[in-house]
């Protein structure tokens, strides 16, 4: 929240759209503004009343560079919009940079999302440093209801809850990387970096930096699904394959390879397989191991075919994986390979399997990967 918890004193807040962007139809702008305000009225007692003349609490306009408030915009990209905290005069006013391209889809920049963020400020919200929050300062396109629990907590501290608000489903807050119970969905190398996926987020672990960088999967790759099951890098081909459900995508660096997504059954998996839990490329053999439920497959990257004699049992071939309570582990969430060791992740643990000694030789916490 802003210092002194600035807020509107009554629950009916007026707004007026004083001009329009040529990038969108007028009714598309009206709809984006309406839906952006509705995001906040859904979770509070606030009601928004539209004025077509005179001065409203929230005066909405599009302008370029210096646009009348001595707080100039900066041309395309960079600074997209700003809004002022609740108060008289300029208070609550919301300005959009006309030098941007305003859209109603995932192309930059989606007017509804930026407006919902700016109206957060106009109602008294400051920035959040949770990358999954709407009030995070950096633009990130995400479909669906944009508020996270962090956003809702903030606005309801100012205005209370919506007495007759329907059940909305906020976005979960960002995972805490050093939570000892943290489990991961997938992990892969990417040109010397490590990408660790969890829910809608991923951490970029760079060998030179101690601090992994947290981001939203869909703000980096809008075409990927919100959550992924497995990923691996084939450095020989300089591609990363991402699995989600029965589909797979190929990344070349950070760009998606055209022609994807494809079905995982193209690899030679039977149709009964509906998702891949973990995947890892073994550089010493040129084979990719694909883990599905209690079994795993071996895919020959060179011939593009599944090896004979698979699937095989995970428990039988990778002995020594035991949970804290001693139960044998027979499924895997994620996998990586480094210097003759296979790292198999299950729940909050990772098992270091030695190919030479043919057994698990160490058990670590999964988030050891994130320098915890």
Binding residues (CB under 8 A) for another protein: these are 2-3, 71, 73, 77-85, 97, 108-109, 114, 117-118, 121, 126-127, 129, 137-139, 206, 209-211, 213-214, 220, 254
Shortest distance (Å) from residue 183 CB to another protein: 21
Rounded to whole angstroms, the Cα distance separating 335 from 353 reads 11
Shortest distance (Å) from residue 137 CB to another protein: 5
Angle between helices 149-159 and 111-123 (to 10 degrees): 40
Whether residue 118 lies in the annotated active site: yes
Shortest distance (Å) from residue 138 CB to another protein: 5
Q: Cβ closer to another protein: 249 or 281?
A: 249
Q: Which residues contact 68 (CB under 8 A, 6 or more apart)?
A: none
Distances (CA, A) of 119 to 95, 158, 241, 351: 10, 14, 39, 47
Q: Cβ closer to another protein: 25 or 176?
A: 176
Rounded to whole angstroms, the Cα distance separating 354 from 293 reads 22
Nearest alpha-carbon partner for 58 in 130, 138, 122, 144? 122
Rounded to whole angstroms, the Cα distance separating 281 from 232 reads 6
- Does residue 141 contact residue 222 with C-beta atoms inside 8 Å? yes
Shortest distance (Å) from residue 286 CB to another protein: 30
Strands 193-198 and 201-205: antiparallel
Q: Cβ closer to another protein: 101 or 162?
A: 101
Catalytically annotated residue among 98, 118, 173, 233: 118
Rounded to whole angstroms, the Cα distance separating 148 from 125 reads 13
Shortest distance (Å) from residue 240 CB to another protein: 15
Q: Cβ closer to another protein: 115 or 184?
A: 115
Phi first, then psi: what are they for 220, rounded to 5°? -95, -40
Rounded to whole angstroms, the Cα distance separating 331 from 347 reads 10
Q: Cβ closer to another protein: 49 or 64?
A: 64
- Does residue 368 contact residue 350 with C-beta atoms inside 8 Å? yes
Shortest distance (Å) from residue 114 CB to another protein: 8
Distances (CA, A) of 268 to 109, 232, 271, 299: 40, 17, 9, 8
Shortest distance (Å) from residue 129 CB to another protein: 5
Rounded to whole angstroms, the Cα distance separating 311 from 291 reads 9
Distances (CA, A) of 35 to 30, 64, 79, 161, 345: 9, 24, 22, 18, 42
Active site (catalytic) residues: 118
């Amino acid at each position: 929240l802003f210092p002194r918890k600035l807020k509107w004193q009554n629950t009916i807040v007026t707004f007026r759209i004083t001009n329009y962007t040529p990038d969108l139809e007028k009714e598309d702008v009206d709809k984006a503004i309406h839906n952006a305000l509705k995001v906040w009225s859904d979770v509070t007692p606030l009601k928004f009343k539209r004025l077509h003349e005179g001065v409203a609490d929230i005066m909405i306009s599009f302008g370029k560079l210096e646009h009348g408030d001595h707080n100039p915009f900066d041309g395309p990209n960079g600074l997209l919009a700003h809004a002022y905290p609740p108060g008289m005069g300029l208070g609550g006013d919301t300005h959009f940079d006309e030098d941007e391209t305003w859209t109603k889809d995932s192309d930059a920049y989606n007017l509804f999302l930026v407006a919902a963020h700016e109206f957060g400020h106009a109602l008294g919200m400051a920035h959040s440093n949770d990358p999954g929050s709407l009030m995070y300062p950096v633009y990130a396109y995400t479909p669906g209801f944009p508020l996270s629990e962090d956003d809702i907590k903030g606005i309801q501290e100012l205005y209370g809850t919506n007495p007759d608000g329907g059940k909305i489903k906020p976005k979960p807050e960002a995972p805490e990387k050093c939570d000892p119970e943290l489990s991961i969905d997938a992990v892969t190398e990417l040109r010397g970096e490590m990408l660790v996926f969890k829910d809608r987020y991923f951490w970029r672990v760079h060998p030179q930096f101690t601090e992994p960088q947290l981001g939203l999967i869909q703000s980096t790759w809008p075409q990927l699904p919100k959550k992924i099951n497995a990923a691996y890098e084939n450095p020989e081909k300089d591609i990363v394959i991402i699995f989600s459900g029965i589909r797979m995508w190929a990344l070349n660096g950070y760009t998606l390879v055209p022609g994807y997504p494809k079905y995982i059954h193209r690899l030679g998996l039977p149709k009964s397989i509906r998702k891949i839990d973990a995947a890892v490329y073994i550089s010493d053999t040129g084979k990719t191991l694909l883990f599905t439920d209690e079994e795993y497959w071996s895919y020959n990257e060179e011939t593009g075919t599944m090896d004979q004699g698979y699937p095989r049992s995970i428990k039988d071939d990778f002995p020594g994986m035991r949970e804290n309570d001693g139960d044998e582990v027979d499924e895997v969430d994620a996998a990586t390979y480094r210097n003759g060791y296979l790292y198999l992740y299950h729940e909050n643990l990772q098992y270091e399997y030695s190919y030479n000694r043919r057994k698990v030789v160490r058990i670590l916490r999964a988030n050891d990967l994130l320098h915890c």
